Structure 1
Amino acid sequence: MKFTEGMWCLREGVRIEWMSNIERLRTENETVHLLLNKLQKHRGDTLNSPTVSAQVTSPQEGIIGVKLVHWAGQVDNGPHYKLNTTSGHTSITHDKTANKLNYTSGPLALDVNTAANELDFVFRSPTGKKLTGHSWRSIGYVADQRTEKHRYEDGIYAEKQGYMLAELDLGVGEKVYGLGERFGPFVKNGQTVDMWNEDGGTSSELAYKNIPFYMSSKGYGVFVNHPGKISLEVQSERTTRVNISVPGEEIEYFIVYGDSPKDVLRRYTTLTGRPGLVPSWSYNLWLTTSFTTNYDEQTVTGFLDGFRDRDIPLGVFHFDCFWMKSYQWCDFQFDEEMFPDAIGYLKRLKERGLRISVWINPYVGQASPLFEEGKKNGYFIKRTDGSVWQWDFWQAGMAVVDFTNPAACTWYSSHLERLMEMGVDSFKTDFAERIPVKGIKYHDNADPERMHNYYALLYNRIVYETLNNRVGPNQGLLFARSTAPGGQAYPVHWGGDCESTFEAMAESLRGGLSLMLCGYIFWASDIGGFEGTPPPALYKRWVQFGLLSSHSRLHGSSSFRVPWIYGEDCSAVLRDCVKRKILLTPYILAEALRGHRDGTPLMRALFLEFPADLNTYAIDTQYMFGPNLLVAPVFSEDGEITFYVPKTEEEGAGKWVSWFDHSKSYEGGQWYTETHDFDTMPILVRPGSVTVTNPKLKAPEDDALEGIQLLVNGTLPTGTTVEVVNPGQTGEVLKTLRLTSGSDGKTVEVEGHDVEVVYIGQ
């Protein structure tokens, strides 16, 4: 939110009390307590003006937090994000002569200028280089009288809306990324970004997944620990700062240091939670009924027969919302008119080797048989007068399940368990953005505004835990649209409602890459686009992109996404792309496990993998699929594409090589323009890399070791190892392959296992 008009003037009705001085300080264990006030010329300046209490802490090594509080007497009913904390990694020194306080957590340091009226915070790297900080007029309390509750006739008691304001410095050329799944420009500089989950599609500034964490190109991240609405002016109000404001009386942020972008993510997910794992079968192709299409058992069976007859592997079938009767979402009952023998039909689908997913949401329409039960037992969010909160937007008379009520969670979970008994394997947890904030009351009295974004965590958690309680750890998964910090523990997330255009395909990629710079390692998009019907060229190009995403789902709104509708050449493209992803299963499973351990996503922005190559920091139309495969989706009907090949740090490793034509090589640090038919696209294999594949696999869940193949490009570093993950338990390593150079200095030998090695490049 903007409060100023340029550097010198405030907007009408706004007053900012800037903190300029440290009145006093004390240390307590590993915490520094500071009392901040305005510029102090004489003792009278302590009167009739606010103070801000600051606490400096370190929840994890390499992370320093600053909490700023104006008034401490507010009622705190939560909720709060769960943070993982440790102690014993800090040091504090205060040189009173030099007027300098130094707070250190591992490699990260904070210097505070304690001289009178010289308030200054500087966060520094291990080399002493400034990362960010608070310079002149950057910590303040805002009083805004432009509010309904402000009445001039109240005089000195007239209320104002308060905001805590923290402005963090930006350096020359510094770029900012992340802030959740945002579909606008990948580089966030110049943007105003509000953390507020909304159902806005993929072509607007609104976002389903708002994560108040951004990553800087200077080697640090910033996490704002507040579940309510946060506004960030990223070089859009002050051109040298990120201005962060929160309505209310306090704000807390954490600076997360890393010696590389991956290291920043490692520390951030140490703090907020490691990403969860998913079962291997989820990497199969998913097919849905689409949203508003008409379908019954005969329609679905025809689709499945079509995939079988065309030799297109299919692993998961998803029933979207009209598997239930209209107006009754959610009652968790198959529409008996369309599916008179639902239990029998799901069994028949299982006999085809398919997994089953069904659409759900956290709402209950008034026509649902569950509405009266939920009303009677207090399972819904209520108005302050005790009545059920309802509206007609989406479902007539819709109520919202109150997941702060343990009994409501048990009730909701029981219906999921009943569906799982029928054969359902996964749930698409749609919506959870349209959560009311005014005139309502939660079971646990949680603050409604702080619950708006947080609600998605509760929703996804209850569904994810219900699944895992039945099938075991890392064996359940969601297909979720909304989330909040920490939601990476409940995968998978998809990009929401996109249009059927090349532009929407590109914005979807930007959104996914932004989300995956916030601790999320899995992501998917609606292949072909959701709104509209894709032309064949777009369908095929999105298939190529979608089958090189962590998860791959064909889904639309009012039209089906089975390929032969768009032409049999589309079936051929889909078949080739699905089979390529399946043979990459060992590579995908290993990289997913790596992400579970350290927060590195499967799909990576180029700078995350190549931080030393400055050309990579602005690129948002390409990505790395794991560490070894450069993917450049084609965003044009004629197949022309210009893409960048990064510089690698592996000296003498060789050149990048085309996945499709091993005789074709590419120099790092160069741009290339090519034209591709629909049977190829730019997929490049990194020099000095070994990629584990298995051409014998028919499905991701098959035997990982039988038929394993190593794709080696160039000279491998000494001591290279490769992990083969168990498809039946994706958190378990079956075998670690140790690779050594052959006697000729070029070939590779694998210790203790008979593995086919395919050499490409020089």
Structure 2
Amino acid sequence: MATLAQLILALRSVGVRQSLQTLGYTLAKERLDRRYARSRHPTPVRQPGRLLDVKTKENSASFKFEHAYLDITIMADDLARIAWSNADSQSAKPPLPYAIARQNWAPVSAAIHQEPEQVEVHTPRLQLSVRGDGSLTFSSADGACLRQELPPQVIGKGWQSRALLRKTERIFGLGEHALAFQLRSHTFQLWNTDPGGSYGPSADPIYMPVPVYVGIHDQGSYLIFYNNYHKGQISFDALEEPEPRAAVLFEAGDLVYYFIAGPLENAIERYTELTGRPGLPPLWSLGYHQSRWGYRSAAEIQEVLDGFARHEMPLSAIHLDIDYMLGYRVFTVDTERFPDLAGLIQEANALGVQVVAILDPGVKVDEGYDVYRQGVNLGAFCRLPNGKLFKGIVWPGWSVFPDFTHPKVRAWWGEYYQRLLDQGVAGFWHDMNEPTSFSAWGKLDPPLSLRHHMEGTDGDHLEAHNIYALQMNRAGHEALQRFRPQKRPWLISRSGWAGQQRYAWNWTGDTESSWEALRMTISTVLNMGLSGFAYSGPDIGGFSGNPPAELYTRWFQMAAFMPFFRTHSAIGCAKREPWVYGEPYSQIIRQFLRLRYRLLPYLYSLAWQNSQTGHPIIRPLFWGASKISDDTLPLFEVDDAFLVGEQLLVAPVTQAGCESRNVTFPTGVWLSLWDDALYLGPGSFEVPTSLETIQVFVRAPGILPTAEGNSLQLNLYLQTENERYIPSHPSQFVLYSDEGEGYGPWRTDTWEFTQDGNSVILRWDSRGEYPFPYSGVQVRLHGAQLEEAIIDDVAVKYTADTIEIAQFHRAKLRLR
């Protein structure tokens, strides 16, 4: 039952009338769900049974068991599709290809050997063995065992898959969750869920769990993705268990999954080739965003814009929460409180600020409201089994919900985006799309018996729930492509599923305002990245609560390195613009804001790399480790630090009053971003900190590009140890540049430097038609001072560590 605090919050948020409506809805939903549960008769658990027949082709094999069928397709040298279906055709339910971006793959020649007790499938990078009882073994090309699976089990209309885990194996991924970074010893619910306005560590499930994870152990690594969006559960035994296992249970649908052999970077690249990669986002989206549930009028928005200008704090976007709507009706504007939204947006644009508007899927039941009326006429809304419209409760009161699993509904919904685009809105924020319907107790979900079109295959909400937001995001993305083809679509969504990265960013939702939630954010964003979702970030300071100045500052410092960089808070919370805490906090926050904008050349290039490879922007410290070893094991235990691309290691402060923190370094040389202090990895060091900074380190040898006014600064981090220069392998960085919007000309600038003792050779190569966007280049050395600089065979002037030059092809630098 709801707690007293939850009931009081509900009354404050929606009022007495709507709270009573919610109570009535909850009782009706309970009756529907009880009736639905009775219709799903329990059935015995069955194994596949004896193997009866095998048929093979060039790159596939089909197996007929007593109670199940198995189809294996080798899609690439390192990618196998495994599809189990129930021999009872009435229970078979293959997945719709919502998550799959690439359907056609080049033919792969796999060697398939049929033996009396098993069938072997070999490619240059993968070995797969199928035994007569339905158990499977996946191995690397050299025979190292990557994963062993027990025979799956048919459970009613669903399946359970079980696998043995190695003693050393660590598990990461599963989309968005709050339980832990390393997933062993936990059970996770696979059901997109609104946790109810506030959540902290150990909440499960939350908005966007996805059945994809990576396993890494002493023999290698792999990625596995279950293409089943029905309600499910996945568990991993603890490390100390004598015979540890992983088990995933889906309540319905065929057991279809994809196995990808490591190493990790290759597996993520292949997975995002399968499920899609984000397009390059507009440059403004990588800047700072300001938001609040409670900016109730155009005057308040203008006041915030003026505040950023007055405090000399850069701002790229301001978000409009549900306050801008007329009675919370989606796609409307309250013209009393926002009398000239287009004019307000023009004023914001003149300051370099874009405007983002929130959209919820719930449509108010109101015959005078055209979106509702037209949707009813089209048959666009979800219905109950008796054919009646389903009505739930969200912010407008009684509401209906579009069935985004129908193509005509996605197209119809998308038409309304033009209303806000015509007023200048630059991007959209999809909320409440798990989907959520308020409830006095229990889960905030629609009834499981709700009917969905499912592209003409018909299904219930048990099947459609987890892909509801994915299809809403698809509808919005396609609308932006249709109505604004010259610009890049930008959406952010609270919920989604596999493949979401093609359509929208994500944020961590309604976190509580606590130190524990700050630390939890790091794990959440890291696991999202390892699940294919590169663009994520928190509500700075937490959504629900009033963080003290130190907590907000520490959260802000960490978030300055996250892809999505936004302050947002709940209605009723104290104001949280970056200057409200006064000094010294305002100055500290201003410095990190400016640092974010200095880092945009680096971050934008990482975004471009992600569009090409799918590699996450925020990465765990073990990124690059192909397996677990004695040297790499400590990196797998770190859940409070992260890499930004290849070059930066960020170690946030996650405790109050912290004067130092332990930092674990991967193998190599690392220099402090602040003072070039040197640390050698692998190893852990206690590093001092202060309120003014968090610890950030740069990998050496390495190149970190930053914007310094109109110039580009190439920061060269050199390998030194005890004042001795260490010869190093070549270090390279590719800088991507374009207009920051649209699909026009582009360019890449590749810098590569080699250090041999006290001699450094730096080469510059350019491609593309976009003009170099900087007025000049500064080359600045870190960890050394210059003795001589020769640019394209001409000696040039320099300071102790910096050269200011125009474009060049080759620079030879001699160090003191």
Q: Does the TM-score normalized on the shorter chain lie above 0.5?
A: yes
In structure 1, the residue matched to 2:778 is 756
In structure 2, the residue matched to 1:58 is 74
Confirm whether residue 67 of structure 1 aligns to residue 83 of structure 2: yes
In structure 2, the residue matched to 1:216 is 215
Amino-acid identity (%): 24
Amino acid corresponding to residue 356 of structure 1 in structure 2:
V
- Partners of 1:61 and 1:474 in 2: CA distance: 37
Deviations 1:457-514 (CA, angstroms, capped at 9, x unpaired): 1111111222233444772211211110111111311110011111111112211111
Q: Please say if residues 81 and 225 of structure 1, whose CA atoms lie closer than 8 Å, have aligned partners that are also in contact.
A: no
In structure 1, the residue matched to 2:787 is none
Confirm whether residue 171 of structure 1 aligns to residue 177 of structure 2: no
Q: Structure 1's 640 and 528: CA in aligned 2 closer, same or farther, altered over 3 A?
A: same
Confirm whether residue 353 of structure 1 aligns to residue 352 of structure 2: yes
CA RMSD in angstroms comes to 2.5
- Partners of 1:537 and 1:723 in 2: CA distance: 35
In structure 2, the residue matched to 1:452 is 465
In structure 2, the residue matched to 1:337 is 336
Residue ranges of structure 1 left out of the alignment (5+ in a row):
1-12, 38-50, 143-160, 698-705
Confirm whether residue 127 of structure 1 aligns to residue 142 of structure 2: yes
Q: CA deviation at 1:409?
A: 2.8
In structure 1, the residue matched to 2:712 is 707
Q: Please say if residues 595 and 601 of structure 1, whose CA atoms lie closer than 8 Å, have aligned partners that are also in contact.
A: yes
In structure 1, the residue matched to 2:63 is 34
Matches within 5 A, 1:169-208: 169-200=164-195, 201-203=198-200, 204-208=203-207
Alignment partner of 2:610 out of 595, 601, 605: 595
- Partners of 1:553 and 1:539 in 2: CA distance: 12
- Partners of 1:466 and 1:431 in 2: CA distance: 19
Q: Structure 1's 376 and 78: CA in aligned 2 closer, same or farther, altered over 3 A?
A: farther
Q: Which structure shows the higher strand fraction? A: 2
Confirm whether residue 428 of structure 1 aligns to residue 429 of structure 2: yes
In structure 1, the residue matched to 2:596 is 581
Q: Please say if residues 85 and 92 of structure 2, whose CA atoms lie closer than 8 Å, have aligned partners that are also in contact.
A: no
- Partners of 2:755 and 2:163 in 1: CA distance: 53
Deviations 1:489-547 (CA, angstroms, capped at 9, x unpaired): 11311110011111111112211111111111111110111001110001100110111
Amino acid corresponding to residue 310 of structure 1 in structure 2:
H
- Partners of 1:61 and 1:757 in 2: CA distance: 43
- Partners of 1:622 and 1:727 in 2: CA distance: 33
Confirm whether residue 718 of structure 1 aligns to residue 730 of structure 2: yes
Alignment partner of 1:251 out of 248, 252, 255: 255
Q: Please say if residues 693 and 711 of structure 1, whose CA atoms lie closer than 8 Å, have aligned partners that are also in contact.
A: no
Secondary structure of 1:510's match?
helix
Which deviates further from its counterpart, 469-478 or 278-287? 469-478
Amino acid corresponding to residue 251 of structure 1 in structure 2:
L
- Partners of 2:567 and 2:252 in 1: CA distance: 43
Deviations 1:327-356 (CA, angstroms, capped at 9, x unpaired): x331x2221221122222222222222111
Q: Please say if residues 137 and 149 of structure 2, whose CA atoms lie closer than 8 Å, have aligned partners that are also in contact.
A: yes
Alignment partner of 2:122 out of 101, 104, 117: 104
Secondary structure of 1:521's match?
coil
- Partners of 2:336 and 2:183 in 1: CA distance: 49
- Partners of 1:264 and 1:36 in 2: CA distance: 31
Deviations 1:294-317 (CA, angstroms, capped at 9, x unpaired): 532222222211111111001111
Q: Please say if residues 609 and 624 of structure 1, whose CA atoms lie closer than 8 Å, have aligned partners that are also in contact.
A: no
Q: Structure 1's 238 and 417: CA in aligned 2 closer, same or farther, altered over 3 A?
A: farther
Q: Structure 1's 719 and 473: CA in aligned 2 closer, same or farther, altered over 3 A?
A: farther
Alignment partner of 2:666 out of 624, 634, 647: 647
Q: CA deviation at 1:589?
A: 1.3
Confirm whether residue 279 of structure 1 aligns to residue 282 of structure 2: yes
Secondary structure of 1:526's match?
coil
- Partners of 2:113 and 2:417 in 1: CA distance: 57
Q: Structure 1's 436 and 105: CA in aligned 2 closer, same or farther, altered over 3 A?
A: farther
Q: Please say if residues 512 and 542 of structure 2, whose CA atoms lie closer than 8 Å, have aligned partners that are also in contact.
A: yes
Matches within 5 A, 1:454-493: 454-472=467-485, 475-493=488-506
Q: Please say if residues 111 and 123 of structure 2, whose CA atoms lie closer than 8 Å, have aligned partners that are also in contact.
A: no
- Partners of 2:489 and 2:587 in 1: CA distance: 31
Q: CA deviation at 1:730?
A: 8.0
Q: Structure 1's 730 and 346: CA in aligned 2 closer, same or farther, altered over 3 A?
A: closer
Q: Please say if residues 609 and 627 of structure 1, whose CA atoms lie closer than 8 Å, have aligned partners that are also in contact.
A: no
In structure 1, the residue matched to 2:648 is 629
- Partners of 1:660 and 1:79 in 2: CA distance: 51
Residue ranges of structure 2 left out of the alignment (5+ in a row):
1-41, 436-444, 720-726, 767-775, 785-816
In structure 2, the residue matched to 1:504 is 517
- Partners of 1:256 and 1:134 in 2: CA distance: 14
In structure 1, the residue matched to 2:268 is 265
Q: CA deviation at 1:79?
A: 3.6
Matches within 5 A, 1:308-707: 308-326=309-327, 328-330=328-330, 332-367=331-366, 369=369, 370-434=371-435, 436-443=446-453, 444=456, 446-448=458-460, 449-472=462-485, 475-558=488-571, 559=573, 560-611=575-626, 613-648=632-667, 655-662=669-676, 664-696=677-709, 706-707=711-712
Secondary structure of 1:397's match?
strand
Q: CA deviation at 1:388?
A: 1.6
Q: CA deviation at 1:77?
A: 8.6
Matches within 5 A, 1:72-91: 72-74=89-91, 76=93, 79-83=96-100, 84=102, 85-91=104-110
Q: Structure 1's 173 and 432: CA in aligned 2 closer, same or farther, altered over 3 A?
A: same
- Partners of 2:433 and 2:242 in 1: CA distance: 34
Amino acid corresponding to residue 412 of structure 1 in structure 2:
W
Secondary structure of 1:566's match?
coil
- Partners of 1:87 and 1:533 in 2: CA distance: 55
Secondary structure of 1:608's match?
coil
Q: Please say if residues 380 and 401 of structure 1, whose CA atoms lie closer than 8 Å, have aligned partners that are also in contact.
A: yes
Amino acid corresponding to residue 86 of structure 1 in structure 2:
W
Amino acid corresponding to residue 419 of structure 1 in structure 2:
L
- Partners of 1:73 and 1:451 in 2: CA distance: 19
Which deviates further from its counterpart, 544-553 or 569-578? 569-578
Q: Please say if residues 379 and 408 of structure 1, whose CA atoms lie closer than 8 Å, have aligned partners that are also in contact.
A: yes
Q: CA deviation at 1:604?
A: 0.7
- Partners of 2:626 and 2:54 in 1: CA distance: 39
Q: Structure 1's 514 and 398: CA in aligned 2 closer, same or farther, altered over 3 A?
A: same
Q: Please say if residues 730 and 753 of structure 2, whose CA atoms lie closer than 8 Å, have aligned partners that are also in contact.
A: yes
Amino acid corresponding to residue 554 of structure 1 in structure 2:
T
Amino acid corresponding to residue 329 of structure 1 in structure 2:
R
Deviations 1:612-653 (CA, angstroms, capped at 9, x unpaired): 6221112111100111100011112212343333232x6xxx
In structure 2, the residue matched to 1:227 is 229
- Partners of 2:549 and 2:584 in 1: CA distance: 9
Confirm whether residue 25 of structure 1 aligns to residue 54 of structure 2: yes
Amino acid corresponding to residue 67 of structure 1 in structure 2:
A
Amino acid corresponding to residue 449 of structure 2 in structure 1:
G
- Partners of 1:408 and 1:52 in 2: CA distance: 36
- Partners of 1:603 and 1:574 in 2: CA distance: 21
- Partners of 2:741 and 2:713 in 1: CA distance: 18
Secondary structure of 1:545's match?
helix
* Count of residue pairs brought into register by the alignment: 695
- Partners of 1:360 and 1:694 in 2: CA distance: 35
Q: Please say if residues 453 and 483 of structure 1, whose CA atoms lie closer than 8 Å, have aligned partners that are also in contact.
A: yes
- Partners of 2:329 and 2:633 in 1: CA distance: 50
Q: Please say if residues 80 and 227 of structure 1, whose CA atoms lie closer than 8 Å, have aligned partners that are also in contact.
A: no
Amino acid corresponding to residue 319 of structure 1 in structure 2:
L
Deviations 1:436-460 (CA, angstroms, capped at 9, x unpaired): 3533333445312221111111111
Q: Please say if residues 81 and 227 of structure 1, whose CA atoms lie closer than 8 Å, have aligned partners that are also in contact.
A: no
